[in-house]
Structure 1
Amino acid sequence: MPFFPRAEAPQARAATSKLDLDALVSQTVLCLVVLGALAFLLRIPRVLARFWHRSEWTKGHRLGYTDTVGPSHATTISFNAATSSPSGYLKEAGSSQESHSSYEDPKFAAMTRPQRDPNRPLPPHISPNPSFLRPVVSVLRSPVAPGVSYMQVFICLGYLGVLLYPSIYRSRGPFVDIKRYGYISVAQIPFIFALSTKNNVIGTLLGYGYEKLNFLHRFVARIAIVAANLHGFGYFYKWCLLKTFQEEIQDKHNFNGLFMLICLDGLLLTSLPFVRKNAYNVFFYSHIVFSIGAVARARLFPTTPRWDSIWPLLPRFSVLITFSVSSKHGRLSRLVRPIPELGLTRVEIPTINKGWRAGQHVRVRILSSAMGITGWAEVHPFTIASEPGNPEGLVLMCKKSGHVDAETFRSGVYESGRARYWGGIQGLVERPYGGPGFAVFNSFTAAVFVCGGSGITFALSAAQELIQSDLRGDSRVSVIELVWVVQDPSSLLPLIPQFTAMIQQCRYTRLFISVHYTKALVGNSKVPGVLPPGLTLSPGRPQLISLLESTVSLAVNTMGRDESASGMIVGVCGPVGLGDDVTKSVGLIDPEKRDLIGGIEMHEETFGW
């Protein structure tokens, strides 16, 4: 069978047996939908556990405000930028090999923690996989490349394998059976749009944020573009052989197809990693223009009646996208405090104090002339650094990103004592995105949070939410280990008061915070001296494997006789390299310790997705 057609292509085409391409591709789409439905059915137990309590039904979906704050014994952290480096914690720089530990071992006191009320209902815990699959999951979770796991590769290969069926079934070659690749390309449009939206149906049903499914969106889109090019260049090749290219391209349907192909190739070129990282606005606006152009021309392209049923759904789908972006918009009174030691700006929004879960992020748009002509259109994600019900409201720690930097925050800011208030600037805070999905942090026996640099925002939110659950008595967590990796030890200074208050608030749970700095001490560096119990400062990178195993042992030893282990959650937030290191360390934990704690689950929030 020839791969390329000869000049007598019409005779070869006439000899081809009839094949219902419409039905063939429809069966493939149905197969993909069934596989997705099967994945959802397997996660139904975790869905029920996630919404075990009525208060969980509204968390993580829409921001809001309530007059009711957290427990009466919750402490509001007094944070003052002017006094963020308390002199009582300072000492002159010493050797980089010096360990700055607390003056007593806090883990000894953890062995005698008070027991919870046995009549208090605790959240149910459902493991994401059976115990006999834990070794397999550990391998699939391992990174095969920076930011890419074996599980992601397996999913992409499975998707590609399903599409091979309509691609090669009774096919005589890509330049002979040209039409089928057009069907395959168009069939991917609903999946591409579904995976591209922030609150998409697929992520909602499976419990994953849009950033976790972004790899699949890119993969499916590239499959569609490759199929479209095979379809288009197949016709170009045939027309060139027959010397009818100029006549054929003047046909309006063929011209629409060429225009659509140009738009798809433009999408591919402007979405390359180099463009996304160095010219994000080019990537963003070109995505909008090329997507509209491709869909509009595809509507004018000749189709069969069955595929015509897709196009009326696209406007309705766009309406759903608009309403899914639930935003809180208005003149917000924001308290802005710079944290020079961290290179961050702390922003408090007291008019929003509910509606999110630990680990979620919001997208902020500043509607101010200080942003420039097109700056108002910039939307930047920031991880929430506070727990719901906090009297301070929604707290963000914003790192310099585009136009959103210290200069922007200073515009419209007026002085009031030692604090700076942001007034007179319109802001748009879009609904919380991402987060742990169906994982319930307070249903685990132990929790470990590893973060790097500004990733401390995730750990603060998660730890404070667990502390509030501990104060209410509805948390299974007995040990929380927070590991923060920074370059300079002075980064710890502004957060010492908050860390101290968090440690003191714990009732049944024990919180240990270890800060590791990787930069050698030189000159008159500010180094914390004696630290409160439960807080340590050490040079060098953390030994993750030994830290995880010691946390497992401590959690098991502090369990009551009637308690059963319900697993350990390991959360990581930081650069891609840090996430890969933590994932590798989790996979190297002693299998006996892993099974002793009831399995280990990971939640990863990495920069640069």
Structure 2
Amino acid sequence: MSMDTTPDNVNTPYGAALCGVLAGFFILLAFRRSIIAAISCYNNRRRYRKLGNNEELPPTKSLLLYQRLETLVVNKFSWTPYLGSFVLLPPLGGILIACTLVSTIVPVLILNVDLKINSDRAGFISLAMIPFIFATTGKSSALVLLTGISHVRLNYLHRLLGTALMATTTVHMSFMLTSWWPFKTFYASQVATPKVHWGLVAYSSLCFIFFFSMYPIRRFCYALFVSTHFLFLVFIVAVGTHTPYAMRYIATGIILYIINVFAGWFVNTYLTRARVHILPGECTQLVINSNMKHEAGQHVFICIPKISSFEWHPFTITSASNETGRVELHAKVAGNYTRALYSFQDGEELTIFVAGPYGSPSSTLGTHDTTVIIAGGSGVTFAMRHLKELASMAIENNLKHVQSITFAWCVRDQTHLSWFREDISDCLQAFKQSSIPVSVQLYVSRQSSEACEPSFDGDSRVELYLGQRVNAKQIVHHAIYDRQSTTGVYVCGPNSLNASVANSIARYSTWNTIIDFRKEAFEY
């Protein structure tokens, strides 16, 4: 039976209601982006009209008020519960979104129904989420363009919706089977029907996808996670055969998925060559031949067929935007893929696929009075790119309003400092020429019996701390203490470091203290 000839069902309005709420959420995000773009466009037009008089116009009052309000709300909801080195839950904003999703699903699930009699209600609620699960997949989702939200944050929504789908399908199946169970003959006759067989196949495939999508498997067995995700083909075929009401939802989801796949492959993906450089401390530098236009805070996905033909992994771009003809990436050994990359010979050339750049650029970099950049371990790739960009701005004399820059990097072993020793020295030289106060704080958490290497030719702006970890709270507090100025804070590192900085930002953010906070963490 086609989707056009499927008769109405008493549960259809409830599935449609959930679709409407979810669609309304994304429309609201798109509207938010449009408002910001309109105000910014108006402000830029005002500036351009005054360029002939060399006047610098401040942003409009409406833009400042909106930015101040949104920044304050976002910073407060970035508070993250963690214990030691373990992050227990998502940020407060993520928890709020999860609670909102639950409070949306539960009413349409239980309103005017006895699930023991009509367990199909849960089935229709499950079907309603399918298009949105497909829409939030991929790195080049249409929702990224419409809402301005990065694919990393959309992936969080994808996982939330996937978890909700798993829960509602379990409710549908369990209530259906338990209502049949007291009637043995009826139970046996129903379980023997093709409709139930296809339903069990769909549920089993969903269970496999859900189990192999858990964080430990995503983190340490990424290939297994990716391969089991192809069971979604089994799921949609089984669901479409199980009930004709699924066709409209599946068709919509497939169309959205195809758009995302085509956008990813034919818009941002290309084949190129890259050279491998092996660095101390199990770090690999990858220099890609590319004229890609990129900004600070962005990353690319790469696929190296010599390692795996279907695995794509994200790496932050560490080269500055003014370095044309090449794009630099750095990868610390953290799993099987990066270990295989580190096993190549120094200077070896590889053929790779590159997709990107992705991620929201740090468009406000260099506009704050105070800039704080904090990195932990290999998170320095994100931090180093921002420091390079600031150095480039300093050379071009575009940091007139900057009062201070703090760069803090914590590593386990002192050999890791060699990854960017020359780059940090070059940046310090650029800042020295422009007379911008800079503080570089390097932390080595492991005590070493070896003699310390010279600290950047005795540059007094560089401080080396052995056997210590970066105190994010102290750095953030020092940056904003007793200052009526704007502050930009950028962090990338282990989850515990990110959470510590986020909690400090949430604590010190007030209506009169503007902190532009940017946190980078790749979620697998």
Secondary structure in 2 matching 1:376: coil
Q: State the partner residue of 1:21.
A: 11
Matched, 1:361 2:299: yes
For 1:339, give the aligned amino acid: L
Cα distance in 1 for partners of 2:365, 2:65 equals 13
> Does the Cα contact within 8 Å between 1:447 and 1:480 map onto a contact in 2?
yes
| 8 Å contact kept, 2:425–2:456 | no
1:382-397 equivalences in 2 (<5 Å): 382-391=315-324, 393-397=326-330
Structure 2 residue 370 is the aligned partner of structure 1 residue 446: yes
| In 1, Cα distance between equivalents of 2:57 and 2:403 | 13
The alpha carbon displacement at 1:526 in A equals 3.7
Letter in 2 for 1:568: T
Displacement of 1:281? 2.0
Q: Is the 8 A contact 2:220 2:335 kept in 1?
A: no
Does the C-alpha gap of structure 1 residues 170 and 141 become closer, same or farther in structure 2, counting only changes over 3 Å? same
**Percent identical across equivalent pairs?**
20
Larger Rg: 1
Q: Residue type of the partner of 2:108? A: P
Inter-partner Cα distance in structure 1 for 2:318 and 2:334: 17
Q: Is the 8 A contact 2:18 2:125 kept in 1?
A: no
Task: Report what 1:552 is aligned to.
Answer: 480
Q: Which amino acid aligns with 1:140?
A: F
- SS state at 2:420 partner: helix
Distance 1:52 1:331 in 2: 40
The match for 2:255 among 313, 316, 319 is: 316
SS in 2 for 1:396: strand
Q: Does 1:606 align with 2:504?
A: no
8 Å CA contact retained: 1:361, 1:381: yes
> 1:216 & 1:407 partners in 2: Cα distance?
31
Write the deviation string for residues 60-97 of structure 1: whole angstroms up to 9, x where unpaired: xxxxxxxxxxxxxxxxxxxxxxxxxxxxxxxxxxxxxx
Correspondence for 1:142 among 71, 79, 86: 79
Code of the aligned partner of 1:512: S
Matches within 5 A, 1:89-488: 119=54, 131=68, 137-145=74-82, 146=87, 148-172=90-114, 174-243=115-184, 244-288=186-230, 290-304=231-245, 308-325=247-264, 326-332=267-273, 334-340=274-280, 342-349=281-288, 351-368=289-306, 371=307, 375-391=308-324, 393-405=326-338, 408=341, 411=344, 420-423=346-349, 425-436=350-361, 440-472=364-396, 477-488=402-413
Distance in 2 (CA, whole Å) between partners of 1:36 and 1:318 is 17
1:586 is matched with which residue?
Answer: 505
My pick for the range that moved more, 193-202 or 538-547, is 538-547
CA distance in 1, matches of 2:277, 2:483: 37
Q: Write the letter of the residue equivalent to 2:78.
A: R
Q: Tell me what 1:90 maps to.
A: none
Report the equivalent of 1:83. Answer: none
Distance 2:102 2:189 in 1: 36
One of 417, 422, 432 as aligned partner of 1:497: 422
Contact 1:490–1:528 (8 Å) recurs in 2: no
Amino acid at match of 2:297: G
- What letter matches 1:483 in structure 2? A
TM-score (norm 2): 0.84
Give the SS at the match of 1:309.
helix
The CA deviation string for residues 177-229 of structure 1, in whole angstroms up to 9 with x for no partner, is 21110000011111111222222233433333222233322221111111112
Over 3 Å counting, the alpha-carbon distance change for 1:128 and 1:401 in structure 2 is farther
Q: Is the 8 A contact 1:143 1:149 kept in 2?
A: yes
> Structure 1-normalised TM-score?
0.73
Deviation for aligned residue 1:254? 2.3
Q: Distance in 2 between matches of 1:573 and 1:549?
A: 18
Secondary structure at the aligned position of 1:208 is classed as: coil
- Gap change, CA 1:119 and 1:576, over 3 Å in 2: same
Residues 386 and 220 (structure 1 numbering): CA distance in 2 closer, same or farther, change over 3 Å? same
Q: Distance in 1 between matches of 2:256 and 2:490?
A: 34
Structure (1/2) with the larger helix percentage: 2
Corresponding residue number in structure 2 for 1:73: none
Where 2:425 maps in the other structure, the secondary structure is helix
Query: How far apart, in 2, do the equivalents of 1:184 and 1:490 lie?
Result: 54
> How many angstroms apart in 1 are the aligned matches of 2:120 and 2:323?
59
Code of the residue aligned with 2:364 in structure 1: it is V
**AA at the equivalent of 1:337:** H
Q: What is the rounded CA distance, in whole Å, between the counterparts of 1:469 and 1:27 in structure 2? A: 50
CA RMSD after TM alignment: 3.3
Matched with 2:3 is none
Q: Is the 8 A contact 1:353 1:388 kept in 2?
A: no
**Higher mean C-alpha displacement, 146-155 vs 318-327:** 318-327
Aligned pair count reads 496
Aligned CA distance change for structure 1 residues 337 and 294 (closer, same or farther; 3 Å):
same
**In 1, are the aligned partners of 2:303 and 2:312 still within 8 Å (CA)?**
yes
Letter in 1 for 2:276: V
Deviates more, 1:309-318 or 1:229-238: 309-318
Q: Which runs of 5+ in 2 are unaligned?
A: 1-7, 45-51
Query: Displacement, 1:130?
Result: 6.0
Higher relative contact order (CA 8 A, sep 6+): 1
CA distance in 1, matches of 2:456, 2:210: 53
8 Å CA contact retained: 2:128, 2:249: no
- Code of the residue aligned with 1:318 in structure 2: it is Y
Partner SS, residue 398 of structure 1: strand
Cα shift at 1:156: 0.7
Identify if the C-alpha distance between structure 1 residues 470 and 52 changes in structure 2 by more than 3 Å, giving closer, same or farther.
farther
CA 554–44 in structure 1, closer or farther in 2 if over 3 Å, else same:
farther
Distance in 1 (CA, whole Å) between partners of 2:341 and 2:212 is 29
Query: Helix, strand or coil: the match of 2:491?
Result: strand
Structure-2 separation of matches of 1:466 and 1:128: 27
Q: Secondary structure at the match of 2:18?
A: helix
- Residue identity matched to 1:498: D
Match of 2:495 among 576, 591, 599: 576
Q: C-alpha distance in 2, partners of 1:479/1:123?
A: 21
Q: Deviations over 1:569-599 (max 9, x none)?
A: 211111101101111222333x6xx555x51
Q: 1: distance between equivalents of 2:388 and 2:38?
A: 24
Distance (whole Å) between structure 2 residues aligned to residue 405 and residue 189 of structure 1: 34
Note if contact 2:137-2:260 (Cα within 8 Å) is conserved in structure 1. no
For residues 2-81 of structure 1, the aligned pairs below 5 Å read 20-48=10-38
Q: What is the rounded CA distance, in whole Å, between the counterparts of 1:527 and 1:509 in structure 2?
A: 23
